């Protein structure tokens, strides 16, 4: 009996042991090593030279790095709110009883952009927005150079593509979140005379705050890690783009390619700090006391 009691306590830990081992070996220890590495100058061979916070100071003083931070936040801020609003509206419409019969058609159609590989999506949009033979200019009979370095809407083209690609994913998340809203509550509000907007803002949105918190945090992480879309869409040649369109991930790649591993590690930890600050702000706005 005593042996069986001990096994009952040990068994759950045996099940999570493979995950804990992989987490320790492939995430925690490499992360700890990269933190240490960010305080050194190291080219991948030879000795490591301790430089303290110089890597961080040099990065933050670079004009190119400051521009990459601005671009990253531009892409994040400009697409996050429109994506969430559009995704929620589509989810709310699809879960209504009027559209129950066509959900099987519209759900795959709206989710399809998320399934298409990012590079393929970027290349398709690059063809669509081309000045001379792009589908958009051909359709409206214009010759707008959407992707030119001199164009004021070139980064906005990336934002539009982000919205198009991400809306279906967050729509599925909000559809799942809407299942937590009881029909009895909304029906009672309807009987009391609440209109659609009142039911959404007074009942549905407060109940779905944890869902929105999750969605915004995931969106922030994805936006800070943005790399492929602007590099493919705005590049004059493969994976090379102008400084006014680069993101933080470009700086990480350039330091890795240049064998500045200490600097690359510092970029990685700056990304981590930015994501943590954004997450804390979102927890402050959308979180509850229980969270």
Each domain of the chain, given as residue ranges in start order, spans 54-286
| Contact (Cβ atoms closer than 8 angstroms) between residue 143 and residue 132 | yes
Pairing of β 40-41 and β 49-50: antiparallel
pLDDT value of position 88: 93
Cα dist. 257→17, 44, 251, 253 in Å? 36, 11, 10, 6
Question: Residue 187 corresponds to which tokens in the numbers above?
Answer: 């029906």
Q: What is the pTM of this model?
A: 0.82
Which residues make beta-bridge pairs with 50?
Answer: 40
Cα dist. 64→12, 77, 246, 248 in Å? 50, 20, 8, 10
pLDDT value of position 84: 93
Length of the chain, please?
291
Question: Residue 186 corresponds to which tokens in the numbers above?
Answer: 């909304």
Q: Is the dihedral of CA 175, 179, 185, 186 positive or negative?
A: positive
pLDDT value of position 238: 40
pLDDT tens for each residue of the chain, 291 residues long: 455 556 677 778 888 888 889 989 988 999 999 999 989 888 877 788 888 888 899 888 888 888 888 888 989 999 999 999 999 999 888 887 666 667 777 788 888 888 888 888 888 888 888 887 788 888 888 888 887 766 568 888 889 999 999 999 999 999 888 888 887 888 788 887 888 888 888 888 888 888 999 999 999 888 888 888 888 887 754 444 455 667 888 888 787 777 788 888 898 899 999 989 988 988 888 776 555
Count Cβ atoms within 10 A of the Cβ of residue 254 and give its class: 0-12 exposed, 13-18 middle, 19 or more buried. middle
| Contact (Cβ atoms closer than 8 angstroms) between residue 283 and residue 53 | no
Q: Does domain 54-286 have CATH number 3.30.420.40?
A: no
| Contact (Cβ atoms closer than 8 angstroms) between residue 241 and residue 250 | yes
| Contact (Cβ atoms closer than 8 angstroms) between residue 147 and residue 130 | yes
The CA radius of gyration of the chain, in Å to the nearest whole number, is: 24
Question: Residue 161 corresponds to which tokens in the numbers above?
Answer: 């593509």
Question: Residue 20 corresponds to which tokens in the numbers above?
Answer: 């804990």
Cα dist. 253→121, 223, 247 in Å? 21, 16, 10
Query: What gap in Å lies between CA 219 and CA 160, rounded to an integer?
Result: 15
pLDDT value of position 242: 56
């Amino acid at each position: 009996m005593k042996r069986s009691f001990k096994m009952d306590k040990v068994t759950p830990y045996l099940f999570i042991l493979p995950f804990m081992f992989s987490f320790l070996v492939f995430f925690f220890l490499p992360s700890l090593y990269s933190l240490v590495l960010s305080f050194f100058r190291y080219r991948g061979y030879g000795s490591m030279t301790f430089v303290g916070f110089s890597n961080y100071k040099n990065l933050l003083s670079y004009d190119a790095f400051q521009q990459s931070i601005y671009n990253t936040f531009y892409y994040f801020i400009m697409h996050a709110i429109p994506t969430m609003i559009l995704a929620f509206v589509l989810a709310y419409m699809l879960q209504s009883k009027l559209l129950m019969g066509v959900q099987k058609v519209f759900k795959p159609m709206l989710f399809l952009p998320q399934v298409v590989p990012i590079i393929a999506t970027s290349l398709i949009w690059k063809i669509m927005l081309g000045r001379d033979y792009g589908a958009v200019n051909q359709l409206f009979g214009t010759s707008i150079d959407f992707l030119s370095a001199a164009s004021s809407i070139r980064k906005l083209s990336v934002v539009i593509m982000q919205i198009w690609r991400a809306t279906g994913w967050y729509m599925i998340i909000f559809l799942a979140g809407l299942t937590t809203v009881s029909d009895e509550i909304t029906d009672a509000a309807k009987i009391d005379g609440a209109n659609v907007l009142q039911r959404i803002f007074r009942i549905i949105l407060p109940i779905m705050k944890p869902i929105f918190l999750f969605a915004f945090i995931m969106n922030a992480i994805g936006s800070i890690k943005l790399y492929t879309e602007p590099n493919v869409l705005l590049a004059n040649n493969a994976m090379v783009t102008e400084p006014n369109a680069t993101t933080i991930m470009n700086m990480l790649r350039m330091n890795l390619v240049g064998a500045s591993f200490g600097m690359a590690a510092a970029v990685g930890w700056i990304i981590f700090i930015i994501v943590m600050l954004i997450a804390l702000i979102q927890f402050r706005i959308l979180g509850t006391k229980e969270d």
